[in-house]
Chains A and B, each alone.
Chain A
C-alpha cells in the first residue's frame, strides 16, 4: 500500500474475541459465528456486562475464544444455567451459544421452558445437522436422506423420525419475542446473520423477552465435503428443510434497509 495515503481500519479482530487461533476445522461455521457474536457485543458496548454459557460440542472450549465471563454447563442445560445467572444478575446480558444436540436433543426441555418463561436471554443456535465433536452421528436436525454414522444409508423417517424444527416450535411460546434463521454461507447471508444476532441482543437489552437466532452452519469434516461444497450445500440443500427468514418478530422494531 502506498505510504502517502492515510488508511483507516474498517475490519479487524473484535475485542470480544481473544487473539488466539481456534481449533475449528477449515470451513467450519463456528469461527464465523464466534466473530459475529463478538462484533455485535463490541458494537453494542456490552462486552463488560455479558456472561455466556457455551455448549458441550465442538464449541465447548468457547471460553478460550470469547473474551468475556463464561461458565460451562452440562450438555443441553445451558439455558437452565443461563436462567440461574440471569436471575442473579438481571441487569447483565446473558447468552447461550449452543449446537443442535445441545439445544434440540438433550436440552429440549430446558430450551423450551426458558423460552416459555420469557427469560431475557439470547440464544445463538448453531445448526449443522450433525453431531460434530463426537464424530458425525445423527442430530435431531439431520436432513432426510442425509448420511450419519448412526443413520447409515441416510435418515429414514420411519426409523429416525423427521428433522426437528425447534425454532418454529419455540415461536409458539408467548414469552418468545424474536426468532430468525440465517445461514453462514455467502457474505450477504453472513451480514444478514450479524444483523439478526445484534437484534437478538437488543431484545434482551430492551427487556422484551426471549430471543433466538438459528445459524445454518457448514460442517465439512462430518459431511465429508470440501469447505466450498459444504458452504454450497447449506445454501442449496439445508434451506429446503430449514428456510431462512424471520420466524417470529413481536419486537416492534422497524427494519432498517
Chain B
C-alpha cells in the first residue's frame, strides 16, 4: 500500500523474500537525477498495516 501512496515514488518492492514468505517493500535510497526525494509526508507510514515504517525529518 505504501508504494501506491508515496507521492515521491520512493518505495519499491524488494526482490528478496522475508521470513514470512513475502516480498516486502523497500525504500529507494539515493534519488537519481530528476527523481524527487522523500519529503517526510509519512503517507506511507499512515497506511502501513504493520507499523513497519519509521519516518524521520531533518530538523
User: Could you list which residues of chain A lie within 8 angstroms of chain B, going by C-beta atoms?
Assistant: 1, 5-14, 17, 21-22, 24, 26-32, 35, 186-187, 190-191, 227-228, 231
Q: Select which of A10, A17, A191 is within 8 A of B51 by beta carbon.
A: A17
Shortest beta-carbon contacts, A-B, top 4: A31-B49, A11-B55, A7-B56, A187-B43
> Given the complex, which residues of A lie within 8 Å of B56, measured CB to CB?
1, 7-10
Nearest residue in A to B47 (C-beta to C-beta)?
A: A187
Task: Report whether A12 and B54 are in contact in the complex, using a CB–CB cutoff of 8 Å.
Answer: yes
Q: Would you give the 0/1 interface string for B38-59, flagging 1 where the beta carbon is closer than 8 Å to chain A?
A: 0010110111111101111111
* CB of B13 within 8 Å of the partner chain: no
User: What interface size band does chain B fall in?
Assistant: 20 to 34
Task: Report whether A31 and B50 are in contact in the complex, using a CB–CB cutoff of 8 Å.
Answer: yes
* CB of B12 within 8 Å of the partner chain: no
Tell me which of B20, B22, B58, B59 has the highest count of chain A C-beta atoms within 10 A of its own C-beta: B58
* CB of B14 within 8 Å of the partner chain: no
> Given the complex, which residues of B lie within 8 Å of A1, measured CB to CB?
56
| Alpha-carbon separation in the docked complex, A12 to B22 (Å) | 22
Question: 15 new A-B pairs (CB below 8 Å) besides A27-B49, A28-B49, A190-B47?
Answer: A7-B58, A9-B54, A9-B56, A10-B42, A11-B55, A13-B54, A17-B51, A21-B50, A26-B22, A30-B49, A32-B47, A32-B48, A32-B49, A187-B46, A231-B1
Task: Report whether B59 and A7 are in contact in the complex, using a CB–CB cutoff of 8 Å.
Answer: yes
Instruction: State how many angstroms separate the Cβ of A209 from the closest Cβ of chain B.
Output: 30
Task: Report whether B58 and A31 are in contact in the complex, using a CB–CB cutoff of 8 Å.
Answer: no
Task: Report whether A187 and B5 are in contact in the complex, using a CB–CB cutoff of 8 Å.
Answer: yes
Task: Report whether B59 and A228 are in contact in the complex, using a CB–CB cutoff of 8 Å.
Answer: no
Nearest residue in B to A1 (C-beta to C-beta)?
A: B56
> Given the complex, which residues of A lie within 8 Å of B20, measured CB to CB?
21
Tell me which of A5, A6, A22, A187 has the highest count of chain B C-beta atoms within 10 A of its own C-beta: A187
Task: Report whether B49 and A9 are in contact in the complex, using a CB–CB cutoff of 8 Å.
Answer: no
Nearest residue in B to A14 (C-beta to C-beta)?
A: B51
> Given the complex, which residues of A lie within 8 Å of B5, measured CB to CB?
186-187
Instruction: State how many angstroms separate the Cβ of A229 from the closest Cβ of chain B.
Output: 11
A-B contact pairs, 24 of them (CB 8 A): A7-B58, A8-B56, A8-B58, A8-B59, A10-B40, A10-B42, A10-B57, A11-B53, A11-B54, A12-B55, A13-B51, A13-B54, A26-B22, A30-B49, A32-B47, A32-B48, A35-B51, A186-B5, A186-B47, A187-B43, A187-B46, A190-B46, A228-B1, A231-B1
> Given the complex, which residues of B lie within 8 Å of A231, measured CB to CB?
1
Task: Report whether A26 and B58 are in contact in the complex, using a CB–CB cutoff of 8 Å.
Answer: no
Task: Report whether A26 and B4 are in contact in the complex, using a CB–CB cutoff of 8 Å.
Answer: no
> Given the complex, which residues of B lie within 8 Å of A7, measured CB to CB?
56-59
> Given the complex, which residues of A lie within 8 Å of B40, measured CB to CB?
10
Instruction: State how many angstroms separate the Cβ of B5 from the closest Cβ of chain A.
Output: 6
Instruction: State how many angstroms separate the Cβ of A192 from the closest Cβ of chain B.
Output: 11
| Alpha-carbon separation in the docked complex, A32 to B46 (Å) | 8
Task: Report whether B58 and A24 are in contact in the complex, using a CB–CB cutoff of 8 Å.
Answer: no
